[in-house]
Structure formats: C-alpha cells, structure tokens
Amino acid sequence: WHPEPKSLCWAWCQPETHGNTARPRDAAALPPNPGAHEYRNAKSLWGHKAFRLVPVIYLRPVGPGVGEMVLVQLEGSKVQIRTKPGLLLEWYEGLLVLDALMRSSEQCQWLESLAGRFQKERTQRKNLSASLYVSKKLLTIAVTGPQFVTREGTVCAHRRSLRQDPCTTNEGLQEPGWYKVDRILDYMPPWESFVNPKFG
C-alpha cells in the first residue's frame, strides 16, 4: 500500500524524539535476539512505550525492489524522513490506534501531544467505526510482521492480500514446519492488539 502523494498518513517511529526528527521503528518486528526480548519484557517496552505514531505527509517512493523506501515529511515541518512503506498507516487506521490508546488505562506521553488533533478529527467524523474499517479495508488483507513467507514462497511485509481461490487440502499430507488451521476462534484488529500487553 502506498498513499496518494501529498496525503496525510501515519508513520511508526521510536517513542522519543531526537531533535526535530522522528526515527522510524517497525512496530511488528520481533526483538533481534533473546537478550533484547528479555530487556523489552523487563522494561515493559511494548505498544506505546516502544512505538509511537507520527502524522506525516506522503511524498514519494525512493527505491525500487525489496529494499524499497518511501519519503515522508513530518506534518507541520519541512523535515523529511525515509521509511519502509510497511511502517505507514492509513490516516483512519491511525485514528483507530489513537482511539484504542485513549480508551486504555495506560498513560501515554506522546498521545498527549496528539489529543487535540484526535478530538478534532473525532468531532468532524462524528464517529470512528472500527467495524466499518475492518469490513472495507481488512477483510481481504492479512496483517503480518515485517517478513512473512507464504506457502508459495513469496515474501510479504506487513500486509498481504488473502487468497481468493479456494484452498485445496490434503488431509494425509503435512509438510514439516507447517500446521493446519482448523478454525479461527477470535479476531483482534491491529489497533486493539497494539494496546494489549500480550501482543503490543
């Protein structure tokens, strides 16, 4: 997914600011090693404590292929940053993340700077509908991590289209490392998982 040029969207970044610049950080990436994982757990560095959303204006792509990057400009600034397309969220989905944070009991320092903007957006839209967004945008999309390998061997980052053709199953055949899903018991949208300590 790429936004329209000059359109507003959100970028995932580190929670702290470095001067006037926001540093991109992948909210879906796993810690690189067990030590980093233990450190994050000990410091409760998940969700809003490890990541923040920054309003940006999408400018253009800046690289071809797998290493593709895009250029965005911080809203209300001339500062431009390069980031991966998978670290961008549509404007409405970012509002749903902010809404989930507002409803949670966790204190969030960076959310305070966006609270006025969020209330203005909420007033203009009269209502944020998560179910409408899911039905229009996410029913045919799987939200994944930074590197997901499909059974066809295709590598996808962050979001991928779901198969539209029926999948044929062979009950007697199961390849090592692959596990059959019998059914989905429940669904948690990405914005709710961000504020959940088990998933954020």
Instruction: Give pLDDT tens digits for 80-96.
Output: 999 988 899 999 999 99
User: Alpha helix locations (H) across the chain?
Assistant: 34-42, 91-103, 109-112, 115-125, 130-133, 190-194
Q: Is 175 helix (H, G, I), strand (E, B) or coil?
A: coil
DSSP state of 48: G
pLDDT value, residue 188: 84
Helices 91-103/115-125 angle, 10° precision: 110
| pLDDT tens across the length of the chain (200 residues) | 788 999 999 999 998 755 556 899 888 888 889 999 899 889 888 888 889 999 999 999 986 654 588 999 999 999 999 998 889 999 999 999 999 999 887 778 888 889 999 999 988 988 889 989 888 888 888 787 787 787 778 877 887 787 666 555 555 566 777 777 777 788 888 898 888 877 76
Considering only CA atoms, which of 81, 91, 78 is closest in space to residue 1? 91
- Tokens matching residue 20: 């006037």
- Angle (CA) 33 39 41, round 5°: 105
Q: Is 154 helix (H, G, I), strand (E, B) or coil?
A: coil
pLDDT value, residue 13: 93
Q: Rounded to two decimals, what is the model's pTM?
A: 0.83
